[in-house]
Structure 1
């Protein structure tokens, strides 16, 4: 039984759809999974060392000395903007925009899920290391209420870096790719300096978060996009079909033969 004309048209449109880099198969997936695991082990080890010997305590106090006037207000605003609840809201909004502009649920789910699977597990390192926050009594301009959860790594920086990586990968091959790299890098740097200047994190907490996202993001994408999403039928994108070759053998009754005479 031959497929209907409408089904052929739908399949043709799907096959012409450009494969987004966020959904594309990963090169050397085993290596990226190993790198992700190695990143976790390394950062936990480095965090335990920093907890025992806070080599950046003086730098933390010096950077907190900048927390005055307008710069102090900006850092506080940045910190509040990327706190957990606003971060979830930002992810939902951007995911909705991705879905609306692309018309592809799979792409939107891949975007949100990869960010979440990169950002949220950073709490594993927080719990394993348990590094205290900078001592507020030694800071020149401490915040009114120091967060009580462990300091290493910074969840704010981990989220922003994961968000930027997802956007940059998703926009690969478009005219927005380079602007996303530039603006995303600026955003990460701003948040790194903000949490350090505010005095709620040591500088190494922020840098560790960037390292976390860079090392874990590729593995998180493989697990979410290539392993988990295909388990849900409506999240499977139709692959581009290979051109079919004519099979040898007798033609069907409906085929028309032409003979040269």
Structure 2
């Protein structure tokens, strides 16, 4: 029979994102429920926070405006996908195991991509550029939820899970919160989204990412022969000291 130190050592030898969820059905139910509720809410928002959008947009000047515009472009879909592939590659290299890299990437994808479907279903218009003091070039797609904000929140959540058993965990949490706030403010100051678009997107990712991880890591990966757990295959990216 395994001793408690041995069990702790085995847990430390598993990259955090691969640890099974103790309540998978509840987690998936919460994720699905959040999608339904947020979708329904989206139909009723209209331009309820146009005043707040205009107030944020007054900040879009000088260095602040240049920075927020750069943030918006840096995590647009193509660069965001590239960033995800690069980070997943680093995780694969550091962990010497493909599974945490795929867990990271697919958790982001399964959280992020459905938001684009809901965006088309709800079809909430972006803030009217004619009403804004510093209008951004018109974006062709609807605004709710904000794909940029869903992406960065899902990215942070997945990365925090990956480094959970390492000395980088607290750093990732703090830096991740900062990144989410920066993106929220950027899309609001650019006024490419209503603030409620971005706020709903953070809630979306917080609820959906755990469900996405359960579906991919706990349910799908064990059924794929080359992704099944292997004894001693996954190790932390960097052991705590």
Equivalent position to 1:24, from 4, 19, 27 = 19
Q: What is the distance in 2 between the residues matched to 1:116 and 1:239? A: 27
Q: CA deviation at 1:71?
A: 0.2
Q: CA deviation at 1:124?
A: 2.4
Structure 1 or 2: more helix by fraction: 2
User: What is the aligned partner in structure 2 of residue 164 from structure 1?
Assistant: 156
Show structure 2 runs of 5+ residues with no match. Answer: 1-9, 233-241
Contact 2:12 2:165 in 1 (8 A): no
After TM superposition, the structure 1 = structure 2 runs for residues 56-71 of structure 1, keeping only pairs within 5 Å, are 56-71=49-64
TM-score, normalisation: structure 1: 0.83
Q: Which runs of 4+ in 1 moved over 6 A?
A: none
Equivalent position to 1:206, from 198, 204, 214 = 198
Q: Does structure 1 residue 116 correspond to structure 2 residue 109?
A: yes
Q: What is the distance in 1 between the residues matched to 2:17 and 2:24? A: 14
Q: What is the distance in 2 between the residues matched to 1:176 and 1:21? A: 12
Deviations 1:22-77, CA, capped at 9 Å, x for gaps: 111111111001100110111011111102xx221100011001000000000000
Q: What is the distance in 1 between the residues matched to 2:144 and 2:119? A: 5
Contact 1:229 1:236 in 2 (8 A): yes
User: What is the aligned partner in structure 1 of residue 79 from structure 2?
Assistant: 86
SS of the equivalent of 1:237 reads coil
Q: Does structure 1 residue 150 correspond to structure 2 residue 160?
A: no
Q: Does structure 1 residue 216 correspond to structure 2 residue 202?
A: no
Q: CA deviation at 1:17?
A: 7.3
Show structure 1 runs of 5+ residues with no match. Answer: 1-14, 241-261
After TM superposition, the structure 1 = structure 2 runs for residues 68-79 of structure 1, keeping only pairs within 5 Å, are 68-79=61-72
Q: What is the distance in 2 between the residues matched to 1:98 and 1:134? A: 38
User: What is the aligned partner in structure 2 of residue 194 from structure 1?
Assistant: 186
Higher Cα Rg: structure 1 or 2? 1
Q: What is the distance in 1 between the residues matched to 2:11 and 2:185? A: 44
How many residue pairs get aligned? The number is 223
Which structure would you say has the larger RCO, counting Cα contacts within 8 Å and 6 or more residues apart? 2
Equivalent position to 1:126, from 104, 119, 131 = 119
Deviates more, 1:81-90 or 1:18-27: 18-27
Q: What is the distance in 2 between the residues matched to 1:230 and 1:119? A: 23
SS of the equivalent of 2:16 reads coil
Q: CA deviation at 1:16?
A: 8.8
Q: CA deviation at 1:168?
A: 0.6
User: What is the aligned partner in structure 1 of residue 225 from structure 2?
Assistant: 233
User: What is the aligned partner in structure 2 of residue 177 from structure 1?
Assistant: 169
Contact 1:122 1:158 in 2 (8 A): yes
Q: What is the distance in 2 between the residues matched to 1:21 and 1:216? A: 18
Q: CA deviation at 1:155?
A: 0.3
TM-score, normalisation: structure 2: 0.89
